[in-house]
Amino acid sequence: MDYSAYKHMKIERKGKILTITLNRPPMNPIHYELHNELARLWYQVQLDHDSDVIIFTGAGDVFSAGGDIPMMQKRIDDPELFNQKNLEMKQMIFGLLDLEKPVIARINGDCIGLGATLALLCDISIAVDDARFCDPHVKMGYVAGDGGAIIWPQLIGYARAKEYLLTGDVLDAKEAERIGLINHAVPRDQLDAKVNALAEKLANGPTKAIKWTKASINIPLRQLAHSMLDASLAYEAMTNIGADHQEAVTAFKEKRKPNFTGR
């Protein structure tokens, strides 16, 4: 399988284990080109018969800071760009949920917004214990419509998910592990050993049974995503043209606190 067309990810193979690294350090933000690449990636991985297990991670000391500010401003200036964004988001999310091969999120640092959504949609998540998690869509005057509203409640329940998604507050990896948002929080010097041991265990196991067990577990998640995603993305698109979102983007660029007006 040829992955050379992906410019913003590093893709490496070791036996039957494929490691995919978001490669825009130091923050690994998901800009237009990477967004498009992630929309295409998972369907190609499904057809990669040389890979049975996937490790998904970020370069450097951050998993991903999520969507970047220039991309947000472009979509404000040209709302028609949201049509492409929404299509790519559906491909990205359904691609992950439809992928039969187990995906381990190797969370090497802060995991924010869309970065958190992608990590949490993986099958098993292992994070360094100083990583921070949040979905700050609302802090950007934006609906959490790109998957956070789907996966957070399934992992930690509706009460906790509503608190974090409605406030955009941050939680650390140890708390994320305690409440079930992630599987494991480990010291940084133990991350690779933990991830690699699990990847090898899965790769050396009965891979068809593992793949189809994952596919069976994901049936209700796929159904949920199909029932929610069009509406949540539409709500997100509505806030894209709102004054609060522009104010949040401007305030971020000016390094000040936004002054929201509810418009």
Residues 28, 59 contacting (CB under 8 angstroms): yes
Q: What is the span of the domain harbouring residue 86?
A: 1-188+206-263
User: Does 131 map to a domain?
Assistant: yes
- Residue 201 in domain: no
Evaluate whether 121 touches 36 at the Cβ level (below 8 Å): no
Which residue positions in the chain have pLDDT lower than 50?
none
Question: What's the predicted TM-score (pTM) here?
Answer: 0.96
On whether the CB atoms of residues 42 and 92 are closer than 8 A, the answer is: yes
How many domains would you assign to the chain? 1
- In terms of DSSP H, where are the helices of the chain? 32-46, 69-77, 81-98, 114-121, 148-156, 158-167, 173-179, 191-203, 207-217, 219-240, 243-254
Q: For residue 82, what pLDDT is reported?
A: 87
* Position 97 in a domain: yes
Residue 45 is part of a domain; what is its CATH number? Answer: 3.90.226.10
Q: What's the order of all strands across the beta sheet hosting 62-64? A: 62-64, 110-112, 132-134, 171-172
Position 194 in a domain: no
Q: Which two tokens stand for residue 113?
A: 């917004």
Beta-bridge mates of residue 134 = 112
Taking phi over 0 as left and psi of -120 to 50 as alpha, with beta for the rest, 225 belongs to: alpha
Give whole-number Cα distances, 1 to 12, 48, 49, 53, 149, in Å: 11, 6, 8, 15, 33
| pLDDT for the residue numbered 68 | 87
pLDDT reported for residue 239: 96
Q: Write the DSSP string, 228-263.
A: HHHHHHHHHHHHHTSHHHHHHHHHHHHTS-------
pLDDT tens digits for 148-162?
Answer: 999 999 999 999 999
- 64 within a domain of the structure (yes/no): yes
Domain assignment of residue 195, yes or no: no
- Amino acid of residue 169: D
Mean per-residue pLDDT over the chain, rounded:
96
DSSP three-state, residue 2? coil
In percent, the amount of the chain with pLDDT more than 90 equals 95
- Tokens 């999120």 correspond to 105
- Residues 45-79: pLDDT tens digits? 999 999 999 999 999 999 999 988 999 999 999 99
| Confidence (pLDDT) at 228 | 96
